[in-house]
C-alpha cells in the first residue's frame, strides 16, 4: 500500500482524470435522497458528503435486469450471447459497500462456478472509496466492515481540508498522479489520519454487541421470534432490493410478441418473495413469511459465513430504512440476545443450565 | 453462438399444452360492466398486437369488429365486473366453450370500481337512474368473474398493462402456468430508487397491493391506489400498524383500500 495526499478541491480534477478513460459513477442527489449515477460528464453533481444511497453500487456489477442471451424459437437455437462491459469507475463508495462487493466477488468470481457476466464487468471496474459519516441506521461497526482493506483502487480518507489517499492499484495511482498534485504523506498527515480514524470508530450510534451469533441462530431456530417477525413482514422484498450483498436471482424467458424469438433475462429475486421457494407441482418450501424471514437471516448470519467466512451483511442500514415493518439485522440480533437472556433465566429457575 | 442447441420451447411436453396447435387458437373478447378502458389499452399496442394476433385467430371483439358471436372459440378474454344475472349466464355460457378464460382489468379481477356498489346495488341504481330502466337487466351485487366461473389467468390493474396481457396470451397458447408472484409492491419502488410516500407523510397502498406493474404511478408522483388488488401475501394487520406508526389515519387507509377491493378478491391471484 501507498499513501498520497491531495487537497479536497482536487476531487473534480480526479474525476475528470478518470472520465478521460472510464465511465465515472458516483453519488448524486435524487428524489430527496442519493443515488449512484454517471458523474464523469459533470463532476459538480458528485455529492461526496452523501450518507447512503437508495440502491447500492451492486447495480453496476449485477444489474437488476440483465439480458443473458437471445434465442430463435423457430430454429431452436441461441442467437446471440452478448456480455456487455463498460469500463467504469465507481467513485465515492463507503467501506460497507466495498466490503459488500468483496462478498459478491467471493460468490461470483472466486467460487466453483464463476459468473462470466459479473466477472467481465468486475474486471473492467475500478473503485474509489471515501470516508463516511454514519447515520442512525448504520451499523457496519458491528461487523468490522467500517474499515475496508481490499477491493478498492483508491480510498480517500478525510483529513478536513485534504484527503489521505490509500492506493492499491497501479492504474489508479497513475491517473491520480496525472490528474492531481498528489504529494507524499507527511508525519502530520499520518497523525491526523490516526486521530480521525479514532473519532470515526466512536461516531456510531450504540447498538447491540454481536457475540456468538451463529450459536444463537442455531439455538433459536424454532423460536417464536421468527413468528413475531413473520407476522410483521409485508412480503414486499424491499429488504433484498436495497441490500448490497443479496445476490439471488430469477431466470425468466421473455418472448417477443409473435413468439418467434426471445431473451433469457436474469432478474434480482428475493428469498422474502412468497414464490421464491415455490417449485414445479405447486409445493412451496417456505410458504409462510416467518419461514422466509428466518431463511433470509440464516443465510446472512450463518449460511454464507460457513461457506465464505464472513457475515453476508455489512451494516449499511439500507434494509433497516426500507423495511416499513421494522425487521432488520439489528432487530434480529437484539431479539436473539433477549431470547438468550430469557432462556438463561428460565434455566436458572430450574436449578441450573441443562 | 449460432447453431448451438438449447432447451427451448420445442422441448416443452406437448401434453402440457392447454390448446392444440394444429390450427390457430380462436380468441374471443367479451365485455361485462366496465368502461372498455382495458380493451382500448389492448388497441394501444398496435405493433405488438399485430404480432400477437399472428399467433391467434381473433373471432370476436365488438370493439374492433362487427363479426357476430361464434359458438366456437378457445380463449375467452373477459373485461368487466359481473353486475347482472345476464352477466352470470354469459359467463357460464363462455366457460362451457372456452378452454382458457382470461380475466382482464380490475373490474373483472376484483370487481373494481363497479364493486363499490357491492351489497348496496339497489340504492346506487336509484341514485343514478331514479326509475331503473328495464335495459339495465336484472341487476345483482357486483362481483369479480372468478366468483362465477373458474378463471385460468388474470391480468390485473386499472387499466391493464397490455404487454402483461401479451405475456399471458403466450402462456395460454404454449401451456404455461400463471406467473407465480404473491409479493406486495414496496420492493419495486426501492428498485426504482423512489422515496417512500410514508416518509413524505402520505398513505400509499403499495404495502399490500399485488406487485408486477413496476410502480409507474409512484414514479409519476402518485401513491399507489391499489388497482391491482391485494397481493396474495397482503399483511393488512401489519400495514395498519405501519400507517398508525407514521401518525396517519388507519380508517383513511381502509377506505382507500375499498376502491378496488370492496367486491372481492381474485381467487386465483398470485
Judge if the upstream peptide bond of residue A191 is cis by omega within 30 degrees of 0.
Answer: no
- Total domains present in chain A: 2
Q: In this predicted structure, what is the pLDDT of residue A156?
A: 98
A-facing residues of B in 141-180 (CB < 8 A) are: 166-167, 170, 173-174, 180
- Asked which of B174, B203, B227 is the last residue of a domain, the reply is B174
Identify the three-state secondary structure at position A316: coil
Q: Is B24 on the interface with A (CB under 8 A)?
A: no
User: Looking at the structure, do residues A180 and A245 belong to the same domain, yes or no?
Assistant: no
Chain B CB contacts of A235 below 8 Å: 182-184, 231, 233, 235
Half-sphere exposure of A348 (CA within 13 A, CB side): 6
Residue in this structure with the C-alpha cell 432487530, named with its chain if needed: A331
User: Looking at the structure, do residues A185 and A218 belong to the same domain, yes or no?
Assistant: no
Cβ atoms of residues A243 and B239 within 8 Å? no
User: Looking at the structure, do residues B232 and B121 belong to the same domain, yes or no?
Assistant: no
Q: Where does the pLDDT of residue B10 fall: very low under 50, low under 70, confident under 90, or very high at 90 and above?
A: very low
Residue closest to A210 by CA, chosen among A100, A301, A99: A301
Is B4's pLDDT higher than 70? no
User: Looking at the structure, do residues B246 and B152 belong to the same domain, yes or no?
Assistant: no
Cα–Cα distance between B51 and B57 in angstroms, integer?
12
Q: Is residue A354 one of the residues assigned to a domain?
A: no
User: Looking at the structure, do residues A30 and A175 belong to the same domain, yes or no?
Assistant: yes
- DSSP 8-state code for residue A209: P
Q: Is the ipTM of this complex over 0.85?
A: yes
Q: Which residues, including other chains, have CB under 8 Å from residue B125's CB and lie 6 or more apart? A: B117, B132, B136, B139
Half-sphere exposure of A104 (CA within 13 A, CB side): 28
Q: What are phi and psi of A275, to 5 degrees?
A: -95, 5
Burial B183-202 (b: 16+ CB within 10 A, else e): bbbbbbbbbbbbbbbbeeee
- Asked which of A172, A201, A230 is the last residue of a domain, the reply is A201
Q: Is residue A8 one of the residues assigned to a domain?
A: yes
Cα–Cα distance between A303 and A308 in angstroms, integer?
9
Strand bridging mode A88-93 / A125-130: parallel
Is A135's pLDDT higher than 60? yes
Cα–Cα distance between B217 and B225 in angstroms, integer?
9
Is B20's pLDDT higher than 70? no
A122-136, B100-114, B171-185: the lowest-pLDDT one: B171-185
Chain B CB contacts of A290 below 8 Å: none
The grid coordinates listed for B204 are 400509499
Partners of A264 in beta bridges = A69, A253
Residue closest to A241 by CA, chosen among B268, B257, B143, B187: B187
Cβ atoms of residues B88 and B108 within 8 Å? no
Partners of B76 in beta bridges = B28, B101
Q: Which residues, including other chains, have CB under 8 Å from residue B267's CB and lie 6 or more apart? A: B144, B146, B147, B151
Q: Is residue B2 one of the residues assigned to a domain?
A: no
Chain B CB contacts of A289 below 8 Å: 233, 235
User: Looking at the structure, do residues A252 and A323 belong to the same domain, yes or no?
Assistant: yes
Average pLDDT (A198-223) is: 86
Chain A CB contacts of B181 below 8 Å: 273-275
Q: What are phi and psi of B27, to 5 degrees?
A: -115, 135
Q: Is residue A277 one of the residues assigned to a domain?
A: yes
Q: In this predicted structure, what is the pLDDT of residue B135?
A: 86
Burial of B16 (0-12, 13-18, 19+ CB in 10 A): exposed
Q: Is residue A276 one of the residues assigned to a domain?
A: yes
The grid coordinates listed for A245 are 450483498
- Total domains present in chain B: 2
Residue closest to B198 by CA, chosen among B259, B254, B154, B244: B244
Chain B CB contacts of A322 below 8 Å: 186, 190, 196
Q: Is residue A233 one of the residues assigned to a domain?
A: yes
The CA radius of gyration of chain B, in Å to the nearest whole number, is: 20
Give the largest Cα separation in chain A, rounded.
75
Q: Which residues, including other chains, have CB under 8 Å from residue A342's CB and lie 6 or more apart? A: none
The grid coordinates listed for A243 are 441490500
Q: In this predicted structure, what is the pLDDT of residue A272?
A: 97
* Helix boundaries (H) for A20-135: 95-108, 116-123
Q: Is B21 on the interface with A (CB under 8 A)?
A: no
Average pLDDT (B258-266) is: 86
- Option in B1, B181, B207 nearest A81 (CB): B1
Residue from A57, A234, A246 whose CB has the most chain B CBs within 10 Å, to mutate:
A234
| Tens of pLDDT, residues B94-118 | 999 999 999 999 999 999 999 999 9
- Option in A241, A257, A325 nearest B51 (CB): A257
Q: Is residue A7 one of the residues assigned to a domain?
A: yes
User: Looking at the structure, do residues A127 and A249 belong to the same domain, yes or no?
Assistant: no
| Tens of pLDDT, residues B26-70 | 999 999 999 999 999 998 887 888 788 788 888 999 888 888 999
- What is the DSSP annotation of A149-199? -SS-SEEEEE-SSEEEEEE--HHHHHHHHHHS--EEPPHHHHHHHHHHHHH
User: Looking at the structure, do residues A49 and A130 belong to the same domain, yes or no?
Assistant: yes
- Asked which of B174, B200, B226 is the last residue of a domain, the reply is B174
Q: Cα separations (Å) of B45 from A27, A291, A338, B53, B155? A: 37, 41, 57, 12, 16
Cα–Cα distance between A327 and B8 in angstroms, integer?
41
Q: Is residue B179 one of the residues assigned to a domain?
A: no
Is B2's pLDDT higher than 50? no
Residue A137 has a CB neighbour count (10 Å cut-off) of 18
Chain A CB contacts of B4 below 8 Å: 77-78
Cβ atoms of residues A154 and A165 within 8 Å? yes
Average pLDDT (B168-194) is: 91
Q: Do B239 and A64 touch (CB under 8 A)?
A: no
Q: In this predicted structure, what is the pLDDT of residue B12?
A: 39
User: Looking at the structure, do residues B99 and B129 belong to the same domain, yes or no?
Assistant: yes
- DSSP 8-state code for residue A301: I
- What is the DSSP annotation of A27-74? EEEETTEEEEEE-TT-GGG--TT----SS-GGGGTS-SEEEEEEEETT
- Is the four-CA dihedral A47, A48, A51, A55 of positive or negative sign? positive
Q: Is residue B70 one of the residues assigned to a domain?
A: yes
Q: What is the pTM of this model?
A: 0.92
User: Looking at the structure, do residues A194 and A250 belong to the same domain, yes or no?
Assistant: no
Q: Is residue B8 one of the residues assigned to a domain?
A: no
Of residues A209 and A317, more confidently modeled: A317
- Option in A76, A254, A274 nearest B5 (CB): A76
Q: Do A241 and B173 touch (CB under 8 A)?
A: no
Q: Residue A248: which domain range?
A: 213-349
The grid coordinates listed for B256 are 382507500
Q: Specify the CATH number for the domain of residue B76.
A: 3.40.50.700
**What is the percent of chain A where pLDDT is above 90?**
82
- What is the DSSP annotation of A259-277? SSEEEEEEEE--TTSTTTT
User: Looking at the structure, do residues A180 and A140 belong to the same domain, yes or no?
Assistant: yes
Q: Residue B126: which domain range?
A: 23-174
Q: Which residue of B has its CA nearest to A254?
A: B167
- Option in B2, B184, B194 nearest A77 (CB): B2
- Asked which of B174, B194, B222 is the last residue of a domain, the reply is B174
Please give the mean pLDDT across all residues of chain B: 88
Q: Is residue B9 one of the residues assigned to a domain?
A: no
Q: Is residue A189 one of the residues assigned to a domain?
A: yes
In which element (H, E) is residue B55 found?
none
Cα–Cα distance between B217 and A60 in angstroms, integer?
26
User: Looking at the structure, do residues A264 and A177 belong to the same domain, yes or no?
Assistant: no
Q: Angle of helix A289-298 relative to helix A225-232, nearest 10 degrees? A: 110
B53-62, B87-96, B190-199: the lowest-pLDDT one: B53-62
Is B3's pLDDT higher than 50? no
Q: Do B183 and A235 touch (CB under 8 A)?
A: yes
Q: Is residue A208 one of the residues assigned to a domain?
A: no
Identify the three-state secondary structure at position A45: helix
Number of residues that this document lists for chain A? 354
User: Looking at the structure, do residues A192 and A221 belong to the same domain, yes or no?
Assistant: no
User: Looking at the structure, do residues B152 and B191 belong to the same domain, yes or no?
Assistant: no
User: Looking at the structure, do residues B44 and B168 belong to the same domain, yes or no?
Assistant: yes
Q: Is B85 on the interface with A (CB under 8 A)?
A: no
Residue closest to B201 by CA, chosen among B243, B237, B171: B243
Average pLDDT (B225-241) is: 96
Cβ atoms of residues B82 and B112 within 8 Å? no
Closest chain B C-alpha to A260 CA, distance in angstroms: 10
User: Looking at the structure, do residues B97 and B151 belong to the same domain, yes or no?
Assistant: yes
User: Looking at the structure, do residues A290 and A184 belong to the same domain, yes or no?
Assistant: no
Partners of B60 in beta bridges = B28
Residue in this structure with the C-alpha cell 455489512, named with its chain if needed: A314
Of residues B12 and A190, more confidently modeled: A190
Q: Is residue B218 one of the residues assigned to a domain?
A: yes
Please give the mean pLDDT across all residues of chain A: 94
User: Looking at the structure, do residues B157 and B192 belong to the same domain, yes or no?
Assistant: no
User: Looking at the structure, do residues A154 and A302 belong to the same domain, yes or no?
Assistant: no
- Asked which of A201, A229, A261 is the last residue of a domain, the reply is A201
Cβ atoms of residues A25 and A37 within 8 Å? yes
Average pLDDT (A106-132) is: 95
Q: What are phi and psi of A164, to 5 degrees?
A: -85, 120
Cβ atoms of residues B208 and B226 within 8 Å? yes
Amino acid at each position: 500500500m501507498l499513501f498520497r495526499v491531495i487537497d479536497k478541491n482536487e476531487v473534480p480534477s480526479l474525476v475528470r482524470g478518470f472520465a478521460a478513460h472510464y465511465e465515472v459513477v458516483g453519488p448524486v442527489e435524487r428524489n430527496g435522497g442519493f443515488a449512484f449515477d454517471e458523474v464523469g460528464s459533470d463532476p459538480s453533481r458528485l455529492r461526496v458528503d452523501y450518507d447512503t444511497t437508495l440502491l447500492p453500487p451492486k447495480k453496476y456489477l449485477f444489474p437488476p435486469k440483465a439480458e443473458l442471451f437471445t434465442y430463435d424459437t423457430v430454429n431452436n437455437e441461441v442467437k446471440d450471447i452478448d456480455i456487455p462491459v463498460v469500463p467504469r469507475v465507481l467513485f465515492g463508495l463507503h467501506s460497507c459497500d466495498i466490503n459488500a462487493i468483496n462478498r459478491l466477488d467471493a460468490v461470483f468470481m472466486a467460487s466453483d462456478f464463476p459468473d462470466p457476466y459479473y466477472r467481465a464487468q468486475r474486471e473492467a471496474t475500478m473503485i474509489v472509496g471515501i470516508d463516511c459519516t454514519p447515520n442512525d441506521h448504520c451499523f457496519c461497526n458491528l461487523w468490522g466492515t467500517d474499515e475496508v482493506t481490499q477491493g478498492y483502487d483508491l480510498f480517500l480518507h478525510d483529513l478536513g481540508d485534504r484527503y489521505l489517499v490509500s492506493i492499491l492499484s497501479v492504474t489508479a495511482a497513475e491517473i491520480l498522479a496525472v490528474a492531481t498534485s498528489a504529494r507524499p504523506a507527511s508525519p502530520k498527515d499520518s497523525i491526523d489520519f490516526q486521530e480521525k480514524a479514532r473519532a470515526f470508530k466512536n461516531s456510531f450510534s450504540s447498538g447491540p454487541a454481536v457475540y456468538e451469533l451463529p450459536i444463537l441462530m442455531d439455538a433459536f431456530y424454532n423460536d417464536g421470534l421468527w413468528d413475531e417477525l413473520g407476522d410483521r413482514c409485508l412480503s414486499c422484498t424491499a429488504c433484498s432490493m436495497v441490500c448490497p450483498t443479496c445476490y439471488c436471482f430469477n431466470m425468466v424467458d421473455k418472448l417477443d410478441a409473435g413468439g418467434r424469438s426471445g431473451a433469457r433475462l436474469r432478474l434480482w429475486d428475493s428469498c422474502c418473495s412468497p414464490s421464491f421457494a415455490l417449485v414445479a407441482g405447486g409445493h412451496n418450501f417456505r410458504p409462510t413469511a416467518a419461514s422466509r424471514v428466518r431463511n433470509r437471516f440464516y443465510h446472512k448470519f450463518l449460511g454464507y459465513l460457513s461457506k465464505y467466512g464472513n457475515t453476508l451483511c455489512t451494516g449499511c442500514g439500507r434494509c433497516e430504512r426500507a423495511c416499513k415493518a421494522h425487521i432488520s439485522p439489528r432487530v434480529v440480533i437484539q431479539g436473539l440476545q433477549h431470547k438468550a437472556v430469557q432462556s438463561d433465566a428460565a434455566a436458572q429457575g430450574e436449578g441450573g443450565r441443562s | 453462438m449460432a447453431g448451438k442447441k438449447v432447451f427451448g420451447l420445442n422441448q416443452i411436453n406437448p401434453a402440457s399444452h392447454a390448446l392444440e396447435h394444429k390450427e390457430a387458437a380462436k380468441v374471443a373478447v367479451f365485455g361485462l360492466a366496465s368502461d372498455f378502458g382495458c380493451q382500448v389499452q389492448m388497441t394501444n399496442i398496435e405493433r405488438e398486437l399485430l404480432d400477437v394476433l399472428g399467433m391467434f385467430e381473433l373471432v370476436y371483439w365488438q370493439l374492433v369488429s362487427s363479426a357476430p358471436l361464434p359458438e366456437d372459440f378457445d380463449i375467452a378474454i373477459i373485461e368487466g365486473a359481473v353486475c347482472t344475472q345476464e352477466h352470470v349466464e354469459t359467463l357460464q355460457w363462455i366457460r362451457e366453450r372456452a378452454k382458457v378464460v382470461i380475466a382482464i382489468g380490475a373490474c373483472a379481477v376484483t370487481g373494481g370500481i363497479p364493486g363499490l356498489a357491492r351489497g348496496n346495488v339497489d340504492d346506487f341504481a336509484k341514485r343514478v337512474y331514479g326509475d331503473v330502466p328495464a335495459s339495465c337487466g336484472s341487476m345483482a351485487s357486483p362481483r369479480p368473474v372468478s366468483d362465477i366461473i373458474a378463471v385460468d389467468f388474470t391480468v390485473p390493474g386499472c387499466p391493464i398493462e397490455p404487454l402483461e396481457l401479451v405475456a399471458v396470451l403466450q402462456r395460454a397458447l404454449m401451456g404455461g402456468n400463471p406467473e407465480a408472484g404473491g409479493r406486495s409492491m414496496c420492493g419495486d419502488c426501492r428498485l426504482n430508487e423512489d422515496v417512500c410516500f410514508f416518509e413524505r407523510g402520505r398513505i400509499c397502498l403499495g404495502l399490500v397491493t399485488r406487485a408486477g406493474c413496476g410502480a409507474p404511478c409512484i414514479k409519476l408522483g402518485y401513491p399507489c391506489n391499489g388497482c391491482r388488488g391485494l397481493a396474495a401475501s397482503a399483511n393488512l394487520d401489519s400495514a395498519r400498524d405501519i400507517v398508525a406508526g407514521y401518525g396517519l389515519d388507519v380508517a383513511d387507509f381502509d377506505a382507500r383500500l375499498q376502491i378496488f377491493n370492496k367486491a372481492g378478491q381474485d381467487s386465483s391471484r398470485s
